[in-house]
Amino acid sequence: MSHTTPPYCFETTIKVRDYETDSQGIVNNANYLHYLEITRHEFCEEAGTSFAVMQARGLDPVVRKVEIEYLNSLRPGDSMRSCLRFRREGARFVFDQHIFNAATGEPVVRAVVTVVCLEHGRLSRGDMLAEAFEKYL
Amino acid sequence: MSHTTPPYCFETTIKVRDYETDSQGIVNNANYLHYLEITRHEFCEEAGTSFAVMQARGLDPVVRKVEIEYLNSLRPGDSMRSCLRFRREGARFVFDQHIFNAATGEPVVRAVVTVVCLEHGRLSRGDMLAEAFEKYL
Amino acid sequence: MSHTTPPYCFETTIKVRDYETDSQGIVNNANYLHYLEITRHEFCEEAGTSFAVMQARGLDPVVRKVEIEYLNSLRPGDSMRSCLRFRREGARFVFDQHIFNAATGEPVVRAVVTVVCLEHGRLSRGDMLAEAFEKYL
Amino acid sequence: MSHTTPPYCFETTIKVRDYETDSQGIVNNANYLHYLEITRHEFCEEAGTSFAVMQARGLDPVVRKVEIEYLNSLRPGDSMRSCLRFRREGARFVFDQHIFNAATGEPVVRAVVTVVCLEHGRLSRGDMLAEAFEKYL
């Protein structure tokens, strides 16, 4: 009997923008948090919701924790494949997010991002978000 | 008889952040719009107001036009002296903004930024902003 | 007899990233300089060159001047159509860049961006860049 | 007998820039990685070195891992106190970085950032960096 890793439930391709590199000629570490966010937001859209819609309903998903490992660098001209799967742990939504160099398949970044939901400013159980994500859970 | 340039009514010092440079090793051109904005916002604070306060009163200053010349580059480690003067032209506030290398005095950027005021989403005469800036006009 | 505007020689679609908006809920003015740069760099790639390639050959195109008018705002969820045409004026390359709301066709930004070429750190006539752009001039 | 937490070896004050907030009205999560980087780089300068100097000597410190918890939000107008201590673990430099709201003292972010040193592109033991940080280790 073996454990198998659940498959990704969403992936998207993002191209490095030249201004995202720093004086070391590689993408600056902070930009990967942008890439991870873009991926989560596009996933939300595919799931049929969006941050604008959620905010209009009084729901504010906020990032509580990020653990990110930088494995290989991206440079100007590179594209990445950004993959995501997630699980619910009580009030928290935990996203496993992996970024690969689109050309070489090389792993670039491995991250775990924990999101909680504020509803009208207070921590909620996140049922509204769970509902949006229902078919993926 | 000669024209004299009116003096600056505000100046501040800003240090380049390493991540603001791009792969050419110099500060990316878009970041200068950030520096200009920081300078205007600090000026607002010195004038006794702030964007948060203005927005709470239904006033939204928005940038309508920027003309910016790049004269010399800034690099990691550099600091700049960012200077501002402004005038009112009807509903528009026109800011002359000059940035100099703080160490050498060399001119870095020369910009003219035109700001208009929206009040509850509609173009206003900007009297509320003019009042805040009264002592500088 | 009438003057006709030359057609665009390149256009691309860019989607607003949620983090590019500011506390006013609209895309921050500095980000449009990023959009304009992305468009020029993608155009370079279509023309068969890239900033990395140019830099490897000792050529450094730098922005000398930007005149940008902000006509309408973009918000989270919006996409833009970013269009470009350009002409050579001696050592300078002058880009007319127009951004439209992809959904409504509304004009968002109208900019003129002047680029010069440094070769090994000195202002050049830009023949190397003109060669790359030959079929568009 | 008790363990005591070693004191911070560096701290600096950073003011939120209005453009760093997103449509939720709070500082976007990625910007905290910028704040952490600014703090490390200022610490390097206080220690008598800089990224430019290190790069000129063939030394490239790169971020390998970040663990960051978001405890409270910062908003436009806020300032933060950004504190740092670090230790060497073999080839790795591990920075404990804590950010507090400068006005209220409230904890904002708690992060552990692991940095390794590349020398001429290869992983090094980091002796050059350890030397620079000698008096703090």
In angstroms, the CA B133 to CA B69 distance is 26
Share of chain D above pLDDT 90, in %: 60
Confidence of residue C3 (pLDDT cuts 50, 70, 90): low
Residue B127 in contact with partner chain A when CB distance is under 8 A = no
Is B21 within 8 Å of A22 when comparing Cβ atoms? Answer: yes
pLDDT in tens, A77-133: 999 999 999 999 988 999 999 999 999 999 999 999 999 988 887 888 878 778 878
pLDDT in tens, C74-95: 999 999 999 999 999 988 999 9
Looking only at the bridges linking them, the beta strands covering B92-101 and B122-123 are: unpaired
pLDDT in tens, C13-61: 999 999 999 878 899 999 999 999 999 999 998 988 777 777 788 888 8
Is D77 within 8 Å of B50 when comparing Cβ atoms? Answer: yes
ipTM: 0.91
As a whole number, mean pLDDT of residues A35-56 equals 87
What are the distances in angstroms from CA D117 to CA A107, C19, D39, D66, D94?
Answer: 20, 31, 18, 15, 12
Residue A62 in contact with partner chain C when CB distance is under 8 A = no
Confidence of residue A3 (pLDDT cuts 50, 70, 90): low
pLDDT of residue C33: 98
Confidence of residue D1 (pLDDT cuts 50, 70, 90): very low
pLDDT of residue A1: 46
Instruction: Tell me whether residue A68 is exposed, middle or buried, using C-beta atoms within 10 angstroms of its C-beta: 0 to 12, 13 to 18, 19 or more.
Output: buried
Whether D22 is a known active-site residue: answer: yes
Residue D75 in contact with partner chain A when CB distance is under 8 A = no
Is A70 within 8 Å of D70 when comparing Cβ atoms? Answer: no
What DSSP string describes C71-93? Answer: -S---TT-EEEEEEEEEEETTEE
Interface probe for A, chosen from D37, D65, D74, D123 (most Cβ of A below 10 Å), is: D65
The β-bridge partners of A84 are: A10, A97
DSSP category for residue B54: H
| Chain B residues whose beta carbon lies within 8 Å of the beta carbon of residue A22 | 18-19, 21-22
Residue B47: CA atoms inside 13 Å, Cβ hemisphere, count?
Answer: 27
Query: How close A51 comes to chain C (CA, Å)?
Result: 8
pLDDT of residue A37: 96
Computed over every residue of chain C, the mean pLDDT equals 90
In angstroms, the CA D40 to CA D80 distance is 15
As a whole number, mean pLDDT of residues D25-44 equals 95
Is C31 within 8 Å of B30 when comparing Cβ atoms? Answer: yes
Residue C25 in contact with partner chain A when CB distance is under 8 A = no
pLDDT of residue A10: 96
Contacts of B38 (CB under 8 A, 6+ apart): B12, B14, B82, D17, D18
In angstroms, the CA B96 to CA B113 distance is 7
Is B64 within 8 Å of C62 when comparing Cβ atoms? Answer: no
| Chain A residues whose beta carbon lies within 8 Å of the beta carbon of residue D108 | none
Confidence of residue C1 (pLDDT cuts 50, 70, 90): very low
Closest residue in D to C30 (Cα) is D19
pLDDT of residue B2: 53
| Chain A residues whose beta carbon lies within 8 Å of the beta carbon of residue D69 | 64-65
Query: For residue A23, how many other CB atoms are within 10 A of its CB?
Result: 20
pLDDT in tens, B4-18: 777 999 999 999 999
- Residue D31 near residue D37 (C-beta atoms within 8 A): no
Computed over every residue of chain A, the mean pLDDT equals 90
Q: Which of B34, B37, B63 sits opposite C70 (nearest CB)?
A: B63
In angstroms, the CA D22 to CA B14 distance is 22
Residues of chain B with pLDDT under 50: 1
Closest residue in B to D35 (Cα) is B17
In angstroms, the CA A101 to CA A13 distance is 10
Confidence of residue C2 (pLDDT cuts 50, 70, 90): low
Query: How close B1 comes to chain C (CA, Å)?
Result: 32
Best CA proximity match to D61, nearest among D32, D35, D30, D95: D95
Confidence of residue C73 (pLDDT cuts 50, 70, 90): very high
Q: What pTM does this model have?
A: 0.93
Residue A79 in contact with partner chain C when CB distance is under 8 A = no
pLDDT of residue A38: 96
Q: Which of C34, C67, C69 sits opposite B30 (nearest CB)?
A: C34
Residue B62 in contact with partner chain D when CB distance is under 8 A = no
